[in-house]
Amino acid sequence: MTPEDVERQEVEETSPEADELEALRNENEELIATLQRLQADFDNYRKRAARDQDALVARAGERIVKELLPILDDLERAIEAADQHEEAKLEDGVKLVHRQLEQLLEKEGLAPVETDGKFDPYVHEALLTQPSTADEGSVIEVLQKGYRLGDRVLRPARVVVAGPKEEDGPSGHEA
Amino acid sequence: MTPEDVERQEVEETSPEADELEALRNENEELIATLQRLQADFDNYRKRAARDQDALVARAGERIVKELLPILDDLERAIEAADQHEEAKLEDGVKLVHRQLEQLLEKEGLAPVETDGKFDPYVHEALLTQPSTADEGSVIEVLQKGYRLGDRVLRPARVVVAGPKEEDGPSGHEA
């Protein structure tokens, strides 16, 4: 031991702050190590979350694609029936395909937009206004069905709306 | 100042460790604050990632559902044609729907499984083995088309496979 070492040791032993210093230094080291570990965990989590999301999106698409396969099969069978001029079979096939597709879409949360009653700009798109015996502002014809998916309007219904009421007869009646 | 304050101040001023103690205490506090902030960020990130994933899955489904709407429309038009006994229109409608659905699925990455050639257990499912003039082990009939999505087999092709070759004629020929 050099005289300096001895002196330092004496200072450490005699100083009341020496223990606290030592404890603080240890605590500091531990905090830094914890911080680095947490930072590394966070980084890894971020990377994994990005990968998981890509996989999830792919799987969400895959699920629906898989459910569409039997519909594609039945559609091909209907076309075979058409090629063989089996009209009844073709018609049945088309109706089956339609029912299947409707059920699949319903299961995904799709629901038709209501068109009975008053024009509603949130779910309807007015393509025409026509004089009518119906109440002014009511939907009198649906040109294209509209659909909601859950809370959202996926496609508004394209409709014809009744204009001012005709008092003199049903000549302007459209729907 | 009380006598104690004076004494403490003297200790701090005279001790060589006082500054380091003070610095370490400050550093410690900062480390703890940083750690708490990082932990809170991490927690928030985790919660947001879970929410984002739900939204992503919903949106992935929504995209395909939206693309299926025109197909549903055309299917409904085909059924109307059938109801009005417009056979040519019905047939055209079905073919249009089939083409649209095929294109949608192709865009999603769907591709038919090849069935020309040898039976391949990775992409084919053998439902029957039949004596045939074709090479033994080759696919001689497809009972249900198979599909891949990207690298994965979404559905194997269900096929009939040629058994041992018949030397005495084409009597067992099926496909």
Would the CB atoms of B69 and A15 count as touching at under 8 Å? no
Token pair 């002196």 in the structure block, residue:
A7
Give residue A172's pLDDT.
46
DSSP class of B118: B
Q: How does pLDDT run across B101-160, given as a tens digit for each residue?
A: 999 999 999 999 999 999 999 999 999 999 988 899 999 999 999 999 988 999 999 999
Would the CB atoms of B90 and A94 count as touching at under 8 Å? yes
Strand B110-112, strand A139-144: pairing: unpaired
Structure tokens at A132: 């009518």
Would the CB atoms of B108 and A75 count as touching at under 8 Å? no
Contacts of B18 in chain A (CB under 8 A): 17
Contacts of A69 in chain B (CB under 8 A): 147, 154-155
Contacts of A58 in chain B (CB under 8 A): 150
Q: Is the ipTM of this complex over 0.85?
A: no
Q: How does pLDDT run across A121-175, given as a tens digit for each residue?
A: 999 999 999 998 889 999 999 999 999 998 899 999 999 999 987 665 555 444 4
Q: What value, to the nearest 5°, has the Cα angle with vertex B21 and ends B16 and B26? A: 140
Name the strand (E) or helix (H) holding B86.
none
Structure tokens at B9: 């101040």
Give residue B170's pLDDT.
52
Contact A108, B65 (CB under 8 A): yes
C-beta atoms surrounding B69 within 10 Å: 17
The end-to-end CA distance of chain B, in Å, is 108
C-beta atoms surrounding A159 within 10 Å: 25
Which among A35, A71, A94 has CB closest to B31?
A: A35
Give residue B174's pLDDT.
46
Q: What is the 3-state secondary structure (H, E, C) of chain A?
A: CCHHHHHHHHHHHHCCCHHHHHHHHHHHHHHHHHHHHHHHHHHHHHHHHHHHHHHHHHHHHHHHHHHHHHHHHHHHHHHHHHHCCCHHHHHHHHHHHHHHHHHHHHHCCEEECCCCCECCCCCEEEEEEEEECCCCCEEEEEEECCEEECCEEEECEEEEEEEEECCCCCCCCCC
- CA A95 to mean position of chain CA atoms: 29
Structure tokens at B66: 């939206």
Contacts of A59 (CB under 8 A, 6+ apart): none
Question: What mean pLDDT comes out for the span A53-67?
Answer: 86
The minimum CA-CA distance between A168 and chain B, rounded to whole Å, is 34
Contact A113, A146 (CB under 8 A): yes
Q: Tell me if residue B3 falls in helix, strand or coil.
A: helix
Q: Which residue has the higher pLDDT, A126 or A21?
A: A126
Contacts of A32 in chain B (CB under 8 A): 31
Name the strand (E) or helix (H) holding A89.
helix A87-107
Q: How does pLDDT run across B17-46, given as a tens digit for each residue?
A: 788 888 999 999 999 999 999 999 999 999
Contacts of A71 (CB under 8 A, 6+ apart): A97, A100, A101, A104, B101
User: In Å, how far are B14, B50, B84 from A53, measured between CA atoms?
Assistant: 60, 10, 48
Contact B111, B151 (CB under 8 A): no
Question: What mean pLDDT comes out for the span B45-73?
Answer: 89
Contacts of B28 in chain A (CB under 8 A): 24, 27-28, 31
Site from B13, B43, B57, B113 to mutate, A interface, most A CB atoms within 10 angstroms: B57
Give residue A5's pLDDT.
55
Give residue A15's pLDDT.
66
